Amino acid sequence: MDKVKVGIIGCGTISPIYFEAGQKFDILDIVACADLDFARAQERAEQYGVKACTVDELLADKEIEIVINLTIPKAHADIHQKVLQAGKHSYGEKPLAVSLEDGRKVLSLAKEKQLRVGGAPDTFLGGGIQTARKLIDDGWIGSPVGATAFLVSPGPESWHPNPGFLYEEGAGPLFDMGPYYLTALVNLLGPIHRVTGSARITRPERIVTNPANYGAKIPVETPTHIAGVLDFESGAVGTLITSFDVWGSELPNIEIYGTLGTLSVPHPNFFGGSVKVKRYNQSEFMEVPLTHGFTENSRGLGVMDMAYAIRNGRPHRANGELCYHVLETMHGLLHASREGKHYLLESTCEQPEALPTDLPAHALNG
Ligand SMILES: NC(=O)c1ccc[n+]([C@@H]2O[C@H](COP(=O)([O-])OP(=O)(O)OC[C@H]3O[C@@H](n4cnc5c(N)ncnc54)[C@H](O)[C@@H]3O)[C@@H](O)[C@H]2O)c1
């Protein structure tokens, strides 16, 4: 199968794992990279043996079919639109856009141009969550009744060298980390119908403790503790808490409660992890061997799936509709908190097709 040539825009902290995806996944051929900060693009280009160029040069490169957009959230929608205008498929880091309006613009441009748009997270394609999905699909916990999902932490200012953007609109624990949890839940349970929630900003300013920028002050634009309720179209009821205000916790990552048992789902920010089940007639949780591969850090798996989908004319799994549905869910939670009432989602999406269990390493088979 012909390789798909790929360019990367945004050469910051997360970019190395995507460059590595180009070396690991046979169908991807990363040929060029660009960044507003040209020195960063040059550094990555040297490191990974690709061409450094400006954003415009990259977009003008006729050989490139997919662009991976690894810029900061506020730039995501603009770059997606530039990529689509340049006649290329666009795959980006989460979230799809900051505002719903921009998210819709990206989807409708992709439709108009008959190009694909998609994005992170792709961790739901990893062995951990695919195993959990298989257990649900095969009836191990009966019919899903409810779910809980918790992302609680003290915030990223201790480990991220430039954490300012993570407290801007379009980030915070909900928009930065929520996509992992919500995408995993939609993959496991299908789309969401309505949400409600409460949100607060706990500290209006945060202090960076990462040595790279120690002591820098960050203004906080977006809620840092958000508690939500999610009603799925299937009738299952989910609880989601995302917070950068918690010093410690023993909460699980994700649990799914079914009429016949409970499923313990691994951390949705990772590809592997431990999947456990406790059926109504068992006294304890039992660990289940993972049924699927891609259990190591496989970021870029969603891009590989998009590349195979382009070559084989099938839908790709980490697609724009899924990203937009997750974006609308997150906005809905904040909207419900502001308005004091449920938010009914306008969007929906297909539950992504489960991966087969017999895939070769580092490749998909269709
Ligand atoms: N850092 C992580 O561990 C991590 C993990 C998962 C996802 N992400 C996501 O990846 C994205 C990037 O995060 P990061 O941590 O790499 O950020 P970063 O600030 O380290 O890097 C972003 C890069 O994008 C460049 N950039 C910004 N706007 C641009 C534009 N308009 N045109 C070209 N280049 C532009 C910046 O110069 C910078 O080099 C974010 O959406 C983030 O949510 C990050």
pLDDT tens-place string over residues 267-305: 999 999 999 999 999 999 999 999 999 999 999 999 999
Q: Helices (DSSP H) in the chain: which residue ranges?
A: 15-24, 38-48, 55-60, 73-85, 100-113, 127-137, 172-189, 301-312, 320-339
Q: Tell me if 74 CB under 6 Å of ligand 1.
A: no
Domains (ranges, CATH) in the chain? 4-119 (3.40.50.720), 123-288 (3.30.360.10)
What global pTM score does this model have? Answer: 0.97
Backbone angles phi and psi of 119, in degrees to 5 = 180, 175
- Cα(335) to ligand 1 centroid in Å equals 26
d(CA 113, CA 115): 5
* Contact call for residues 301 and 128 (beta carbons, < 8 A): no
pLDDT at 142: 98
Residues 52-57: what's their mean pLDDT?
A: 98
Residues 6+ apart with CB under 8 A from 358: 365
- Kindly state the tokens that stand for 331: 């906005």
Which residue CA neighbors atom 29 of ligand 1 most closely? 71
Q: For residue range 120-140, list pLDDT tens digits in order.
A: 999 999 999 999 999 999 999
DSSP helix/strand/coil, 212: helix
Residues 244-263: what's their mean pLDDT?
A: 98
**Residue 363 pLDDT greater than 90, yes or no:** no
Which residue CA neighbors atom 26 of ligand 1 most closely? 71
d(CA 295, CA 303): 16
d(CA 258, CA 140): 9
- Cα(116) to ligand 1 centroid in Å equals 21
- Closest-CA residue to 150 (of 174, 126, 166): 174
Q: For residue range 75-123, list pLDDT tens digits in order.
A: 999 999 999 999 999 999 999 999 999 999 999 999 999 999 999 999 9
d(CA 97, CA 104): 9
- Cα(23) to ligand 1 centroid in Å equals 21
* Contact call for residues 164 and 174 (beta carbons, < 8 A): no
pLDDT at 301: 97
Nearest atom (ligand 1) to Cα of 162: 19
pLDDT-derived band at 365 (thresholds 50, 70, 90) equals confident
Residues 331-339: what's their mean pLDDT?
A: 98
Q: Tell me if 55 CB under 6 Å of ligand 1.
A: yes
* Contact call for residues 202 and 165 (beta carbons, < 8 A): no
**Residue 366 pLDDT greater than 80, yes or no:** no
- Cα(9) to ligand 1 centroid in Å equals 9
Which residue CA neighbors atom 8 of ligand 1 most closely? 14
